[in-house]
Amino acid sequence: MGKEVRMKDIADRLGISVVAVSKALNGKSGVSEELRARIRRTADEIGYRHSRVKALAARSGVKTGNIGVLASERFIDADSFYLKYYRHISALMQQSDYYAFFHTLTAEDEEKLIIPKLLSQERVDGLIILGQLSREYTEQITESGIPVVFLDFYDDRNDIDCVICDGFYASFDMTNYLIRNGHRKIAFVGTVNATSSIEDRFLGYVKSLIDHGIHVSRNYILDDRGPDGMDKVISLPVDMPTAFVCNCDQTASRLIKQLQAAGYRVPDDISVTGFDNSVYSSVSEPKITTIEVNTEAMAKCAVETLMKRINGPSAVTGRISVQGDIVYKSSVRSLNK
């Protein structure tokens, strides 16, 4: 059998991006009609089987008894927070005589729109996409027709099933908690446009400040990662706040170490909160006040939604939001006398 022709092969031959090839072959805007014609002509010449994953939607109806769980490598770190979801998913699927296969996407996979073999070779009946992938990548998968559920992220499409933690209200509650404890100078730590969950947590923080008549200062919105999604050193403001609301426990743990290295005491001088109730919140010194994400309930909702889609492709559940709750630990000090 010859080598499978990929979108990258077309892109390399024409000296253009893989994204441009994807848009042209999937009828999307963003490329000229002249370039679209060249791309399609080249695809035919080199034997590219356009939208090969669409064979999944058209097959005879025989089910594999498997689902796939896709996640970007940038979300799989030492604390294994996202692996909690997979463990719950796997256990739930086995109860239904189904099996879940976990596949980690590299940065190259995502950039070059490389579809995993478990999908292109028809090894699964549906997919749970965990974390957040690029719009171009998720569009290529959802347009294939295979049942898909997004877990822990969403986008602006209202026909995609998503299960998320209610980060907006959880962060709103956390910021309210700090304000009730006398804090008025509160900063947010998280690269806002990195993921939909960080955006929600940021907006919850903003709503709390607005509701309490506190100015939202641009100097108090701090990035914690770069464009590649990798951690970066947090640039502390000149006018230091009395509290930081961090978008996740890992960032909160890094911030605490950075503050301590700069001579600040947590929580005596500055309070810090996190999100996720991951291992970072427990091993940090002090232990981090955080938000408990109900990964088990979210995984259960994702599995139930996916099975509905597999058994009835026209069924659309939409967005499901699962509540998160504050877990009080020792990283917050009250300023009230």
pLDDT at 59: 46
pLDDT at 58: 45
Tens digits of per-residue pLDDT, 246-278? 999 999 999 999 999 999 999 999 999 999 999
Backbone dihedral angles phi then psi of residue 44, each to the nearest 5 degrees: -65, -40
Under 8 Å between Cβ of 331 and 272: yes
pLDDT at 55: 45
pLDDT at 95: 85
Which two tokens mark 175?
Answer: 């910021």
Cα distance between residue 120 and residue 306, in whole Å? 19
pLDDT at 54: 46
Distances (CA, A) of 218 to 141, 156, 298: 37, 26, 33
* Single-letter amino acid code for the residue at 99: Y
Spell out the residues 6+ positions from residue 41 whose beta carbon is closer than 8 angstroms to its own.
none
Of residues 266, 246, 257, 255, the one with CA closest to residue 186: 246
pLDDT at 156: 85
Q: Which residue ranges form the domains of the chain, and what is each CATH number?
A: 7-50 (1.10.260), 61-165+295-322 (3.40.50.2300), 167-293 (3.40.50.2300)
pLDDT at 143: 76
Residues of the chain predicted below pLDDT 70? 1-5, 26-28, 49-62, 77-80, 313
Tens digits of per-residue pLDDT, 129-181? 998 888 888 888 887 778 999 999 888 888 889 999 999 999 999 999 999 99
pLDDT at 314: 72
pLDDT at 122: 77
The strands making up 186-189's β-sheet, listed across from edge to edge, are 221-222, 186-189, 243-246, 271-273
pLDDT at 51: 46
Cα distance between residue 181 and residue 112, in whole Å? 49
pLDDT at 57: 44
Under 8 Å between Cβ of 11 and 18: yes
pLDDT at 226: 87
pLDDT at 50: 52
| Whole-prediction pTM | 0.78
Q: According to DSSP H, which parts of the chain are helical? A: 7-14, 18-25, 33-45, 55-58, 81-95, 107-111, 117-120, 135-142, 167-180, 196-211, 249-261, 279-283, 295-311
Under 8 Å between Cβ of 328 and 180: no
